Amino acid sequence: MKRNKTSFIITLMAILAMLCSCGSQPSEKSAMDIKPAVSSGVTLTVLNPQGDVKKERVLAPRLETLEGKKVAMWLTATPDQIYAGKGAELYDLLEKMLKEKYSGIQIVRYADLPMKFMPENEVVDAIIKTQPDAVVAGFGG
């Protein structure tokens, strides 16, 4: 809202300045003329506060196949919200497709895990307890 007011005021001032200058001849020299800065012998150094960020990300090793593996499917939603969105529908379809494609795959269903909007210790502990080979995490119901 503050940005809109500021933009409106700047636009209004520009329009007023144009209206005031209509029909008038520009003067030879105005107090508003931009003058070059006088060198004061001071040197300023501007630094980027972000700096260089060098992180090495170590990703989990990829599974060669999902055959015979256990996959936990966690969905961030509360039980009363689970069927309000498309998350449950998507996970049900994903489970069906995975079982058709990979023999011996075990699925830990989203409904069997705690459903919360933030992966607190309770959720992480529940996922670890199932000892999955992979986790599918979906955010939003």
Over residues 23-82, the pLDDT tens digits come to: 555 555 555 566 656 666 777 777 777 767 777 878 888 899 999 999 999 887 765 665
Residue 72 gets the label, from left (phi > 0), alpha (psi -120 to 50) or beta, of beta
Contact (Cβ atoms closer than 8 angstroms) between residue 63 and residue 98: no
Token output for 128: 């670890």
pTM: 0.54
